[in-house]
Structure 1
Amino acid sequence: MTNSVEDQYVNLLARSIPAATIKRNEELFLKFLDWFPNPLAVKQMSRAQRSQVLEWGPEMRALIAGIELGKLVGKSHPEICGHAYSSVTLGQQMIDYFAGDEQESVVIACTDVHNDVIDYKTVFKGGQSECLLYPDQIFAYALRQSATGIVMVHNHPSGDVKPSEQDLRFAKRLERGSRILGLQMLDFLIVGQEQYFSWRESQLK
């Protein structure tokens, strides 16, 4: 039987502060568990709390460093440059790219004449349910990369990949602007936790 998240948390914490060896470490383990009874509490640890925990003693430095390393790993995104573009391939890659993100973001992928991704950039970050978009900045970025095509990728942290009316209006607006500038808008993807929506694929159905 798979251990629950809470069990895994306690086990990992015990290994980070070896409670079975030194009485002081056992006290630190119990104190930390009292302050942060679950992984979410650790994730929401404030700077003030972090400073207080470090004041408990040098034993806590490695634990805090491990927590910070875990946060950094969680925020890291996989490389997507150099892969031949297709909605299926890029859609799956971007699901992994946005995994764990709690804010709505927009990534623009620039492609060359062979539809290979030559560069990409997160151009906007919003809140949990809103992301303000400005086409001029998207086009300026694409032109600086000497791109021939662009793919706009927008994540929905809720997991629901159904495009809103605002999403669809913006996709059409982006396509019109791309045509004027001589760029090809290859696709507009909305990415959830396990699936994606392709504007281009939806037009072919």
Structure 2
Amino acid sequence: MNYSLRIADLPPTERPRERLLQMGAKHLSAAELIAILLGTGQGAGKLSAVGLGQYILQQLGEDQREPLEVLREITPQELMQISGVGPAKATTISAAVELGKRAFQIRPNDRTVIDSPEAAVAALSQDLMWQSAERFAVLLLDVKNQLLGLKVITIGTATETIAHPRDIFREVIRHGATRAIIAHNHPTGNVEPSKEDINLTEQILQGGQMLNLPIVDHLILGNGKYQSLRKITKIWEEFPQGD
């Protein structure tokens, strides 16, 4: 890649942002990733953002040091000692480095394990327990029942929400979960399942069987109470989930 060109002058297939969207961030060089942070502005003379990214890495690699190791601990003030790097660029790079650190501080072993309805309710409570409108949500779990995330699928009225199995499994697959707990709230506080709740649960469990994505439970929450359909119905006996 010619680092003297402006990003706008590059063919679309060679522009860092387009390459990231097409191929994923892991396929970009460190200089290209820095270029995306810096945008299309120029610094260090006539260098493009990509060229400036390469220049920054060269400066960090002086004395045979590993540039990314230096970048991991460098301060904004130290970055500003590099020609072409002002406060805006230095703080942008420092913020990105810190965000990366925090993301990887959450190791799999630190994730909450959802091993009971009570643990699931605790994770769902803020989003479902006291809401005035019905919400349908899914807890995304890995193979060890560790919590990967929570996604509210739909928000309805005070008495009705609509959730389609297609939307639920789309989120499970999109987030790389291997199993899930579905849940919704009853704003009235009556947490007994309706006929519609039973029918929907059956549809979703059938989908779980077909896709080999076990649905661990269906919980109903409301006004400080909850109910586990797995505990009070025989639906899981009719549609085993292999979990």
Structure-1-length-normalised TM-score:
0.57
Alpha-carbon distance in structure 2 between the residues aligned to 1:203 and 1:129: 23
Counterpart pick for 1:179 among 209, 212, 230: 209
- Equivalent position of 1:140 in the other structure: 170
How far the C-alpha of 1:95 sits from its partner, in A, is: 3.3
Q: Distance in 2 between matches of 1:99 and 1:113?
A: 26
Contact 1:125 1:131 in 2 (8 A): yes
What is the aligned counterpart of 1:110 among 131, 136, 140?
140
The 1-side partners of 2:135 and 2:129 are apart by: 12
Percent of pairs identical after alignment?
A: 27
- For the pair shown, the structure with the greater C-alpha radius of gyration is 2
Alignment of 1:118-157 (within 5 A): 118-157=148-187
Deviates further, 182-191 or 97-106? 97-106
Give the Å deviation of 1:96. Answer: 4.1
One-letter amino acid of the counterpart of residue 200, structure 2 = F
Alignment partner of 1:84 is 2:89: no
Structure-2 residue corresponding to 1:158: 188
Contact residue 179 and residue 213 of structure 2 kept, 8 A: yes
Instruction: Give CA deviations for 1:2-41 in whole Å, capped at 9, x if unaligned.
Output: xxxxxxxxxxxxxxxxxxxxxxxxxxxxxxxxxxxxxxxx
Residues 112 and 147 in structure 1, CA contact (< 8 A), matched pair in contact too: yes
1:189 and 1:161 map into 2 onto residues whose CA distance is 9
Deviation at 1:109, TM superposition (A): 0.8
Aligned CA distance change for structure 1 residues 93 and 111 (closer, same or farther; 3 Å): closer
Contact 1:95 1:195 in 2 (8 A): no
After TM superposition, the runs of 4+ consecutive aligned structure 1 residues lying more than 6 A away are none
Deviations along 1:94-146, whole A, 9 cap, x unmatched?
33442431100011111000011101111100000010111111111101111
* Corresponding residue of 1:167: 197
Q: Which has the higher contact order (CA 8 A, sep 6+)?
A: 1
Check whether the contact 1:95–1:196 (CA below 8 A) recurs between aligned residues.
no
Unmatched tracts of structure 2, length 5 or more: 1-109, 235-243
